[in-house]
Amino acid sequence: MEKTPVILPAVAAVIFNEQGQVLLQKRKDVNEWCIISGHVEFGETVENAIIREIREETGTSASVKRCIGVYSAPDSQTYHYTSGSVQYITTYFEAVLHDQIAAGFCNEETAALGFFDPAALPGNFARINPSWLSDALDTSGQFFVR
């Protein structure tokens, strides 16, 4: 019997270094390179949630530079797990790291971290992330609702 689908709040953040490269996390659960993202916990603001997620997934502190948009399109924001289907409503930020990431950092979620040129991303880049990245690189100042 299929479980009732749910809608959950999520957060994501693009982080660029001084050379304009984007920070990607190779996730252990899906073996894909991704923009830093995660769930909002009860009692958190979306800003506090992304700062926590960055700390958990990179081992360093960060702050929010700007909010890029909100993403809820069912075709790109719905994931099907063995426990049931989830549609995420993702608030997407640009963030700035306060410290260097420790060389070789990894943990239960993170297999690797690396900075990549936006024009030369790894082949196993997560399916939702290309539109997130192109929106972050957009210089029009537009707030995206997708």
- The pLDDT tens digits for 19-76 are 999 999 999 988 899 999 999 999 999 999 999 999 999 999 999 999 999 999 998 8
Sign of CA dihedral 53, 138, 77, 105: negative
Place 1 in a pLDDT band, splitting at 50, 70 and 90: low
Beta bridge partners of 11: 38, 91
Q: Give 4's pLDDT tier (boundaries 50, 70, 90).
A: confident
Residues 6+ apart with CB under 8 A from 102: 59, 60
Q: Which fold would CATH assign to domain 6-118?
A: Nucleoside Triphosphate Pyrophosphohydrolase (3.90.79)
Domain ranges of the chain: 6-118
Q: What value does the mean pLDDT of the chain take?
A: 93
Q: Are 112 and 103 in contact, with CB atoms under 8 Å apart?
A: no
Cα–Cα distance measured from residue 129 to residue 67, given in angstroms and rounded to the nearest whole number = 16
Q: What is residue 139's three-state secondary structure? A: coil
Query: Do 110 and 29 contact (CB within 8 A), yes or no?
Result: no
Predicted local confidence at residue 50, as pLDDT: 99
* 145 has pLDDT over 70: yes
Position 83 scores a pLDDT of 86
Helix (H, G, I), strand (E, B) or coil at 142: coil
